[in-house]
Structure 1
Amino acid sequence: MNITEKVSYIKGLAEGLKLDEATKEGKVLLAMLDVLNDIAYQVEDMDNDLNDMADVVGDLDDAVLELEEEVYGECECGHDHDECDCCGDDDEDVYEITCPKCNNTVVVDFDVIAAGGILCPNCGEPLEFDLSGLEEEDGEE
């Protein structure tokens, strides 16, 4: 039994009591039943609207999921991306370099290394990179 059916049942019980609208108590009880009836219909309307919105949100969620699969592809490991670290979020490798002068750790990408060097952002010491070791490692794989 939903809320409007329950209110209708209570209204039926009140009619069975044959409340007198001429008395103060009768007026109050009948007015309360009318307000209760209005509230029940408004709650039912809001419930229907909420169900409609839930359907729309579900459809949007499905559409976003399809779009994500289209754009990002599926994980080859078969795990849920929210719980799987195998596919990493980074598209390119980054390297941590420690400055020999101040021991500050600097994170750089391959483009910075390919340029040959940078200045340490902490102390200004020139940091130079030797690419010969990287090329040999790539050839071994």
Structure 2
Amino acid sequence: MDHLYQKVSYLKGLAEGLGIEESTKEGKLLLHMVDTLEDFAETIEELDEYMSYVDEDLADVEEEVYGLIDEDYEYDDFEDEYNCIEIKCPDCDEEDIESLDKME
């Protein structure tokens, strides 16, 4: 998220370097737009931090419920749950094609 702050800081510096002031309608608009972008960057950073906490909490819940952590999680483990079968294409005879049986 630092790149957002860097871009907003660049825009602020550019506005100062160009001598944009709130004395004109356009200057007032541009400066308020830069301030609004800064507010957005702060809010996005807060949301990113909040999502990190939610992700950590979810990982704790998954570990408690399933007894697994992400590193132990194998996606191949779910193959058996869906009654997968492998068939070969009669025309091309290349790779196996996986198909799902109808769940009954």
Is this a same-fold pair by TM over 0.5? Answer: yes
Aligned-residue Cα RMSD (Å) equals: 2.0
Q: Which residue of 2 aligns with 1:59?
A: 60
Please state which structure has a larger fraction of its residues in helix. Answer: 2
SS in 1 for 2:79: coil
The answer to whether the 8 Å contact 1:7/1:37 transfers is: yes
Q: Which residue of 1 aligns with 2:79?
A: 83
Percent of aligned pairs sharing the same letter: 42
Q: Which residue of 1 aligns with 2:16?
A: 15
TM-score, normalization by structure 2: 0.61
Shift of residue 11 of structure 1?
Answer: 1.0
Structure 1 unaligned residues grouped into runs of 5+ = 68-78, 86-141
SS in 2 for 1:49: helix
Structure 2 unaligned residues grouped into runs of 5+ = 69-75, 82-104
The residue correspondences of 1:1-141 to structure 2 (distance < 5 A) are 1-66=2-67, 80=77, 82-84=78-80
Q: Greater CA radius of gyration, 1 or 2?
A: 1
Shift of residue 55 of structure 1?
Answer: 1.2
Aligned residues: 73
Higher relative contact order (CA 8 A, sep 6+): 2
Ranges of 4+ aligned residues in structure 1 off by more than 4 Å: none
SS in 1 for 2:80: coil
SS in 2 for 1:21: coil
